[in-house]
Amino acid sequence: MNEQLQPLKKQPRAGKSSRSGTQDDVVYAHIFDAILEQRLAPGTKLSEEALGEIFGVSRTIIRRALSRLAHEGVVLLRPNRGAVVASPSVEEARQIFYARRMVERAITELAVEHATAEQLAELRQMVEDEHASFARGDRGAGIRLSGEFHLKLAEAARNAPLISFQRSLVSQTSLIIAQYESGSRSHCSYDEHNQLIDAIEARDAAKAVTLMMHHMDHIDSKLNLDEESASDDLHAVFSHVLQTKKKPGRNGANR
């Protein structure tokens, strides 16, 4: 990997988008996380020049990452006008939430059948990490972990197409909430996630599906953000990347 990207790597953590691998893997992971955390506002122009400067890579690398995100439905590639973060219409939002419900139901049923003790332990740890993030006021991390819980659950279902579809739906859901939702910031997924894990561990498919549908009923109200939480300023959104690049490394050590 290009040495310019070495400071971007972090210690691996369960559920966290991978920030190792190829250069476009690193860029993709950072942008995906920014969308999942609702730090990137829908409609934000994703300038290849600005992103190339931020990540220290060529426009070709940026285009590869944006193409992957476009395939997942969270970035729109506009001919001769560049890329933007997707802004789902009201009708598109309805369709996405409907699809999400259907996928969550299937994933839950399969997870009841296939989830291992190790995977259930990983899910419980993610719930604890999510709760701790909100408790210390790190809303962005809490939002991301809440979404990653559903991605980890999809892995436990052992169905590759569902995992891919779920990844797209979870990130699109974050965009929809950032774009349309308003009201209180109540966050109740901590208890709901734990109850869901209990039902899966008990191999009670009917109860697990009922809990998941109840959870989906609340997903929009519990993930509301202030308008200023998402931004269209790329340098502000990825300021942590720029700050890391400016810090002198100790023999190339990661931060």
Residue 176, φ and ψ in degrees, nearest 5: -65, -45
Tokens of 6: 């070495």
Q: Is residue 15 pLDDT above 50, yes or no?
A: no
Q: What does pLDDT average to over the chain?
A: 82
Percent of the chain with pLDDT over 90: 54
Note the pLDDT tens digit of each residue in 141-184: 888 898 999 999 999 999 999 999 999 999 998 888 877 766 54
Q: Which two tokens stand for residue 85?
A: 């973060």
Lowest mean pLDDT among 1-5, 16-20, 230-234, 250-254: 1-5
Tokens of 158: 């052992």
Q: Which residue has the higher pLDDT, 176 or 86?
A: 86
**Model confidence at 47: pLDDT above 70:** yes
Instruction: Give percent above pLDDT 70 in the chain.
Output: 77
Whole-number Å distance between alpha carbons of 104 and 14: 20
pLDDT in the model for residue 228: 44
Give the span between the Cα atoms of 63 and 24, in whole angstroms: 8
Report the pLDDT value the prediction gives residue 247, as an integer from 0 to 100: 64
CB atoms within 10 A of CB 165: 19
Whether residue 85 is predicted with pLDDT greater than 90 in this model: the reply is yes
Residue 21 confidence class, pLDDT cut points 50, 70, 90: confident
The neighbouring-strand residues paired with 46 are 83
Instruction: Report how far residue 223's alpha carbon sits from residue 173's, in angstroms, rounded to the nearest whole number.
Output: 10
Whose structure tokens read 């020049």?
Answer: 49
Assign 71 to helix, strand or coil. helix
Q: What average pLDDT does this structure show over 51-62?
A: 95
Q: Which two tokens stand for residue 160?
A: 């590759």
The amino acid at residue 142 is: G
Query: In this predicted structure, what is the pLDDT of residue 25?
Result: 92
